[in-house]
Amino acid sequence: MLPELGNFALILAMIIALAQGIVPMIGAARGIPSWMAFARSAAWAQLSLLVFSFGILTYAFVTHDFSVAYVANHSNSALPLSYRISAVWGGHEGSLLLWVMLMSAWSTAVALFSKRLPLEMVARVLAVMGLIAAGFTSFVVFTSNPFDRYFPAPLDGRDLNPMLQDFGLIVHPPMLYMGYVGFSVAFAFAIAALLGGRLDAAWARWSRPWTIIAWVFLTLGIALGSWWAYYELGWGGWWFWDPVENASFLPWLVGTALMHSLAVSEKRSTFKSWTVLLAIFAFSLCLLGTFLVRSGVLTSVHAFASDPTRGVYILMLLGVVVGVSLVIYAWRAPQVKSAGNFALLSRETFLLGNNVLLVVATATILMGTLYPLILDALNLGKISVGPPYFNAVFVPLMIPLIVVLGIGPLSRWKQDDFGRLAKILRYALVVSLVLGVLWPWMLFGKLDLMVVVGATISIWLVACILLDLFYRIRHKSSFWKGLTSQPLSFYGMSLAHLGVAITVVGITFTSYYSLEKDLRMAPGDQLELGGYLFQFDGIRDAHGPNYTSTKGIISVTRDGKPVGTMYTEKRNYTVQQMPMTEAGIDPGLFRDLYVAMGEPLGDGGWAMRIYYKPFVRWIWLGSLFMAFGGILAASDRRYRLMARRKAGLDIDAKLATQES
């Protein structure tokens, strides 16, 4: 009975989403306040129904209701409680239910935090989000219903895919989806502004915090996915340029461009048409990502579902969203006047550089990702594009981006002076060139051109951030007063940029200085790697709730002193008869030790991977800095001032003086 209630709530949510998409839109066009006000109540109703529906599916998992087909396919009576809950989004149907629930959570958040926005704007924004929600909820209802039943109910479930039975996979999809659907807010604001003819600085200021928060979630989602792949897939890779990874990375790149372009639109009232276009692209790429992952067109670790009708449905949704929004853009954008004027050497130009580089990077990755799919769809042969392509195109674009990233915040809006910039930057240049060579050489005792480049641009970036801080506070009466008088958004930006430097250092050092050894080891065998001595002590049998396992024990010493004992496992999940390797990792800020068992080779010998990975944690540490910087920037008081807006124009004037 309960699953039917859940299904009913889902269908009701779909109808309400449709109403949320139509009624306020007409209300905004005709100027009927009560129709416009309906948007907020609709958002709340939709969220309540979807939470109810999601709760019922979760309850079915918790209580082992195997008469529900989705539960029977993704759970088992031996599955621990935490994984039974995360299994709700461990498969196609449930993860889409999560998708639409989060989508409506964003709608409700907009309804809640937009009290001071003009009602017409709120109505349009929520209407656009309602239409998107209606499209995806209907997709769930008609093609991917998680409440379908099995008759008769099976005695036990087929278990959750062992790869997904892991902490990383409990948190990775919700984070990523929060980011994906979060960009629908920026998209809805852009479309609403186009429709209402209100493409002004106020629009940019409203969109900014929403865009930043969506970007924060996407950043964390991607970092979690990378971290999960590193420890769970058992061979120590942290990025594979897998199409599904690219699917999340593409909206991130365009979203990053959008954040920066919004800054120009807000502060200088220029780049506006371009910003709108970026908002459309960012959300379209989120939908493309959903299509790639959920349609089953890809061969990848993620593509568990493959049903052609589903792919066609999402492709149609994607086509409608992109098509309609581009038509609205073509119709309305020519009326947008860009007010600002800027010189060749100005912060606008540097931000333009940021945008061009990020968009070109997106285009090249998109090409490598889609090219094999298009050839396959046209029956022109089956090909794959390997990581060397992506590295070859992506890295050369990121180097100038980071150089520009250092200069941008130090430069002035509208017009800057070359002599002034050169005078400030020469110290950063000298320090980064010297340390860029010395630092890696002192750490590792050997150099590679790309290592010097990576270290130099990272130090350059850090030096520029410090210079920026220095120039901002040197005229203040005291150091402390200077620090506290800076707005939160400045600290947010600096932290996020620092995060980029940290990630670049991590990627560079891990890529060039990792030591990796695959070998046969029998109990008692030793291996020296990166100054550590690894000794294979033997194996031990173990078992978990739904698997049996063989544990390999490796003791590690350095200069005769014990570092620790590492355990790696070969698990066999009993229901699906699927083997899984669990890597043993000894984490550290400056190096990870990584061991993973391969297969038994006879005579007590095992195939063994032993890796020494310097600075690998910095990759994810940098992402945390970026995300935290984003949170700081989004909580800057000027957005809240804007929201309160008690003194109207007075505040705008005050802000203008503060920022200059």
Partner 1 sequence: MRPKQRNRLILAIVIVLFVSISAVLALTALEKNINLFYSPTMIVNGEAPKDRMFRAGGMVSDGSVQRDPDSLEVSFRLNDEANEITVKYTGILPDLFREGQGIVVQGKLAPDGSVMATEVLAKHDENYMPPEVEHALETARKMGVADAEKE
Query: Cβ distance 13 to 46 under 8 Å?
Result: yes
3-class secondary structure, 113: coil
Binding of partner 1 by 542 (CB under 8 A) = no
Cβ atoms within 10 Å of 122's Cβ, excluding its own: 24
Peptide bond into 152 cis (omega under 30): yes
3-class secondary structure, 348: helix
Minimal distance in Å, beta carbon 82 to partner 1? 22
Binding of partner 1 by 475 (CB under 8 A) = no
Binding of partner 1 by 315 (CB under 8 A) = no
537 φψ region: left (φ > 0), alpha (ψ -120 to 50), beta (else): alpha
Binding of partner 1 by 524 (CB under 8 A) = no
Count of positions (residues) in the chain:
660
Minimal distance in Å, beta carbon 376 to partner 1? 8
What H or E segment, with its residue span, contains residue 557? Answer: strand 547-558
Binding of partner 1 by 343 (CB under 8 A) = yes
Work out which of 308, 396, 531, 587 binds partner 1, going by CB under 8 A: 396
Minimal distance in Å, beta carbon 566 to partner 1? 17
Interface with partner 1 by CB under 8 A: which range of 139-147, 183-191, 417-425, 516-524?
A: 516-524
Query: Cβ distance 101 to 161 under 8 Å?
Result: no
Distance CA 187, CA 161 (A): 35
Which of 150, 142, 124 is CA-nearest to residue 3?
Answer: 150
Query: Cβ distance 598 to 568 under 8 Å?
Result: no
- With the C-alpha atoms ordered 138, 143, 146, 147, is the resulting torsion angle positive or negative? positive
Minimal distance in Å, beta carbon 357 to partner 1? 9
Under rule CB under 8 A, which residues in 546-585 are in contact with partner 1? 576-581
Distance CA 103, CA 81 (A): 26
Work out which of 349, 486, 535, 574 binds partner 1, going by CB under 8 A: 349
Chain center to CA of 415:
34
Is 541 or 603 the residue whose CB approaches partner 1 more closely?
603
Query: Cβ distance 71 to 61 under 8 Å?
Result: yes
Work out which of 115, 520, 543, 654 binds partner 1, going by CB under 8 A: 520
Q: Which amino acid is at 67?
A: S
What H or E segment, with its residue span, contains residue 573? Answer: strand 561-573
Binding of partner 1 by 300 (CB under 8 A) = yes
Binding of partner 1 by 609 (CB under 8 A) = yes
Binding of partner 1 by 339 (CB under 8 A) = no
Binding of partner 1 by 388 (CB under 8 A) = yes
Binding of partner 1 by 602 (CB under 8 A) = yes
x/- string (CB under 8 A) for partner 1, residues 638-657? --------------------
Work out which of 62, 356, 527, 651 binds partner 1, going by CB under 8 A: 356
- Contacts with partner 1: how many residues (CB under 8 A)? 47
Binding of partner 1 by 383 (CB under 8 A) = yes
CB-based contacts of 468-471 (< 8 A; 24+ apart in sequence):
468/409, 468/410, 468/494, 469/494, 471/410, 471/424
Distance CA 538, CA 26 (A): 72
Is 4 or 599 the residue whose CB approaches partner 1 more closely?
599
Q: Taking the chain, what is the end-to-end CA distance rounded to the nearest angstrom?
A: 63
Is 396 or 524 the residue whose CB approaches partner 1 more closely?
396
Is 343 or 542 the residue whose CB approaches partner 1 more closely?
343
Is 235 or 490 the residue whose CB approaches partner 1 more closely?
235
Distance CA 429, CA 610 (A): 39
Helices (H), 477-616: 479-484, 488-513
Interface with partner 1 by CB under 8 A: which range of 260-268, 285-293, 335-343, 651-659?
A: 335-343
Minimal distance in Å, beta carbon 367 to partner 1? 7
Query: Cβ distance 500 to 406 under 8 Å?
Result: no
Backbone angles phi, psi at 364, to 5 degrees: -70, -40
Binding of partner 1 by 312 (CB under 8 A) = no
Minimal distance in Å, beta carbon 541 to partner 1? 18
Minimal distance in Å, beta carbon 569 to partner 1? 11
Work out which of 237, 319, 323, 386 binds partner 1, going by CB under 8 A: 386
Is 34 or 379 the residue whose CB approaches partner 1 more closely?
379
Query: Cβ distance 568 to 581 under 8 Å?
Result: yes
Binding of partner 1 by 360 (CB under 8 A) = yes
What H or E segment, with its residue span, contains residue 534? Answer: strand 532-543
Minimal distance in Å, beta carbon 601 to partner 1? 6
Beta strands 578-582 and 547-558 are: unpaired
Which residue, chain included where needed, has tokens 């502004």? 193
Distance CA 302, CA 510 (A): 25
Backbone angles phi, psi at 524, to 5 degrees: 100, -20
Binding of partner 1 by 418 (CB under 8 A) = no
Work out which of 309, 341, 484, 565 binds partner 1, going by CB under 8 A: 341
What is the DSSP track for 227-287? HHHHHHSSS--S----HHHHHHHHHHHHHHHHHHHHHHHHHHS-SHHHHHHHHHHHHHHHH
Query: Cβ distance 63 to 276 under 8 Å?
Result: no
Interface with partner 1 by CB under 8 A: which range of 11-19, 105-113, 366-374, 474-482?
A: 366-374
Interface with partner 1 by CB under 8 A: which range of 19-27, 141-149, 186-194, 517-525?
A: 517-525
Work out which of 417, 518, 528, 659 binds partner 1, going by CB under 8 A: 518
Binding of partner 1 by 236 (CB under 8 A) = no
Interface with partner 1 by CB under 8 A: which range of 75-83, 392-400, 501-509, 634-642?
A: 392-400
Binding of partner 1 by 371 (CB under 8 A) = yes
- With the C-alpha atoms ordered 249, 254, 258, 264, is the resulting torsion angle positive or negative? positive
Is 143 or 300 the residue whose CB approaches partner 1 more closely?
300
x/- string (CB under 8 A) for partner 1, residues 251-290? ----------------------------------------
Binding of partner 1 by 301 (CB under 8 A) = yes
Distance CA 608, CA 538 (A): 12
Binding of partner 1 by 403 (CB under 8 A) = no
- Judged by the rule CB under 8 A, the positions of this chain that interact with partner 1 are 161, 234-235, 299-301, 304, 341-344, 349, 352, 356, 360, 364, 367-368, 371, 381-386, 388-389, 392-393, 396-397, 518-520, 576-581, 598-599, 601-603, 607, 609
